[in-house]
Homo-oligomer: A and B are copies of this chain.
Amino acid sequence: MRSDAARRRQLIIDAGCELLIKNGQHMTLESVAERAGVGIATLYRNFSTRNDLIYHCIIQITKQQMNILTTTQQEFRAEGSDPEKKLREIIPRTIPCGINVLVPALMTAPLESLDSTLIDIREEFVTKVQEMVGTLREMGLLHESVGLLDFLQGLIALYTPPQFDVGLDYDYPYDVSKAVDIFLVGCKNGPHFAYPM
């Protein structure tokens, strides 16, 4: 019984993470309950507010992304690896899969809006991202005039669906991986314009 309750709670968090990552602010609690296969009453018994659910999702998304970043960091430094190829591989598994939530929810959020758990998680996460960024700079893939947030927020934006896409009866034919490749060239070379080193 108790483990059934724990399992249901976990299903709700999993569904919440998935829909928060996909729909952001447009995530509804009804869609989370449906995705988790539980009734809305069960959801509310577990999470009394939308923010309470989002809180637990942020913690879970951070853990998942930390694991991916740790593994990738090792692969980056493995002998014979091609860091440019590796970077292009990791972007689709991180940027639209949780980093798009963690940057606004943790990295750029004012500290006074976070409780001590989130502040701790934030610190671990920021440290991990900084390590990754340090590696990219060493490898010559990130110009010193391109900041950590410039890099992450630009990539997040490239993965964000356009405002005007629903209501059209066709798929918007957008080659996001090519847009990312173009952006990465800019990250490597740095913007030449108004940003002297």
Contacts and interface: CB of A to CB of B under 8 A. Distances in A.
A92 interface: no
Number of this chain's copies in the assembly equals 2
A83 interface: no
A118 interface: no
Given A146-B182, A150-B175, A182-B187, A162 B157 contact: yes
Interface in A137-169: 146, 149-150, 153-154, 156-169
A86 to B, nearest CB: 12
A192 B156 CA distance: 21
Nearest to A166: B25
Given A104-B164, A104-B165, A183 B181 contact: no
Interface stretch (A8-16, A108-116, A122-130): A108-116
Given A25-B165, A150-B179, 19 more contacts: A20-B164, A22-B163, A24-B163, A24-B165, A25-B164, A50-B167, A101-B164, A104-B162, A108-B172, A113-B170, A149-B175, A157-B176, A157-B179, A160-B163, A161-B163, A181-B193, A183-B183, A184-B186, A184-B191
